[in-house]
Amino acid sequence: MCTRADQPRSRVDDERFRSLAESELPRLYALARYLIGDNEAEDVVQDCLLRAYRGFAGLEDDDAGPAWLSRILVNCFRDRLRAHGREPDLVEFDEADDFSLYRKIADEDPFPYSDSVHLDFLEQFGREDVRAVLAGMPDHYRVPLVLVYMVGYEVKEAAFMVDVPLGTMLARLHRGRKLFERRLWDYAERHGLVREEVRT
Amino acid sequence: MITCAEAVRELWAYLDGVIEEPERKKVEEHLAFCRRCCGELEFAEELRAFLARPVAGELPADVHARLSAILDDLEGQWAAT
């Protein structure tokens, strides 16, 4: 419930908030799906809207609105994880530590007639494919990738947001990237994306 | 001189600008003569760009309706004061 002190300063603010929030809803929802998965994405966006509304009077630059909303969304996501006491999944790191997608593609050469086989490999993936690959990764490794490479936070900033030391964040990013590469390849094999005939 | 495996392990950190000296210099020395690791580096850049493609997605109509209703409620709260 909003208090009077929490509310936007004027009806103009209220309209600005509505306009910003409406235009950002698809992106926020997509980001929430990447962070927490389909089941809770809507709840995280709802939390974000309520919190953003209460703090909107503090946003002076409209151009900063999308990044400001992203930050609030990430905070809501983090709070939800904490509240649920969600434990990080464990992953065997023999699975990915020494995997190189670059070498795998070069060795397997899935598109023998291509002059740019690595790029062609990536082009097989739509956003839903990428989301599915990320969704299959443990929180520990998925969230740093989303924050740093998809949302664009500095590594230090991402470490602060998920409340881990910088060294831990760097280690998770490293392993997360390797795991992502491994899972991209596995996904491509499972879904038949690495056959010359599927290339468009 | 570091090995290819050691260089590859550091490539993303190198791209992210979070690698410290003297490791950064060692990676650069390795890249100066190893074409395969230059390929790895280029691919790491492509993969970064691939991940950074704008996050956009379809908002299902029912989800949109519920989230819009929340915005309506918030506006209603303001109007009621």
Instruction: From A59, A57, A64, A72, select the one nearest A8 (Cα to Cα).
Output: A57
pLDDT (0 to 100) of residue A4: 43
pLDDT (0 to 100) of residue A142: 92
- The total domain count for chain B is 1
Interface of B with A in 15-34 (CB under 8 A): 16, 18
pLDDT (0 to 100) of residue B57: 66
pLDDT (0 to 100) of residue A180: 93
pLDDT tens per residue across span B7-42: 888 888 888 888 888 889 999 999 999 988 999 899
- Chain-chain contact of B75 with A130 (C-beta, under 8 angstroms): no
Would you say the ipTM is above 0.95?
Answer: no
* Total residues found in chain A within this entry: 200
B31 Cα to chain A: minimum distance (Å): 15
pLDDT (0 to 100) of residue B78: 60
Please name the member of A22, A149, A155 whose beta carbon is closest to the beta carbon of B48.
A149
pLDDT tier for residue B43 given thresholds of 50, 70 and 90: very high
Residue B68 near residue A37 (C-beta atoms within 8 A): no
pLDDT tens per residue across span A110-132: 888 888 889 999 999 988 898 89
What CATH class is the domain A11-84?
mainly alpha
CA distance B77 to B81: 7
What DSSP string describes chain B?
Answer: ---HHHHHHHHHHHHHT-PPTTHHHHHHHHHHH-HHHHHHHHHHHHHHHHHTS-------HHHHHHHHHHHHHHHHHHHT-
pLDDT (0 to 100) of residue A3: 43
B28 Cα to chain A: minimum distance (Å): 19
Quick check: B63 pLDDT over 70? yes
Interface of A with B in 39-78 (CB under 8 A): 42, 45-46, 49-50, 53
Quick check: B54 pLDDT over 90? no
Quick check: A2 pLDDT over 50? no
pLDDT (0 to 100) of residue A12: 73
> Is B80 near chain A, with CB under 8 Å?
no
Q: What is the mean pLDDT of residues B54-59?
A: 72
The dihedral through the CA atoms of A53, A55, A60, A63 has a sign that is negative
Q: What is the mean pLDDT of residues A7-34?
A: 84
Q: Which of A9-13, A179-183, B14-18 has the highest mean pLDDT?
A: A179-183
CATH architecture of the domain with range A93-198: Orthogonal Bundle (1.10)
pLDDT (0 to 100) of residue A65: 92
Q: Domain coordinates of chain A in residue numbers?
A: 11-84, 93-198
pLDDT tier for residue A105 given thresholds of 50, 70 and 90: very high
A28, A49, A58, A65, B66 from A8: Cα distances, Å: 21, 13, 9, 14, 22
Q: What is the mean pLDDT of residues B38-60?
A: 85
Please name the member of A42, A149, A155 whose beta carbon is closest to the beta carbon of B51.
A149
Query: What does pTM read for this prediction?
Result: 0.79
Q: For residue A119, list chain B residues with Cβ-Cβ distance below 8 A.
A: 46
Query: A136 — phi, psi (to 5°)?
Result: -80, -5
> 3-state class of A195 per DSSP?
coil
What DSSP string describes A93-130?
Answer: GGGTTT--HHHHHHHH-S-TT-S-HHHHHHHT--HHHH
Domain extent at residue B16: 4-79
Q: For chain B, give the longest Cα–Cα distance.
A: 71
Q: Label residues B67-79 b or e (16+ Cβ within 10 Å = b).
A: beeebeebbebbe
Interface of B with A in 40-59 (CB under 8 A): 40, 43-44, 46-48, 50-59
- At A119, which amino acid appears? L
- Chain-chain contact of A14 with B78 (C-beta, under 8 angstroms): yes
Quick check: A95 pLDDT over 70? no
Instruction: From A190, A43, A187, A54, select the one nearest A122 (Cα to Cα).
Output: A187
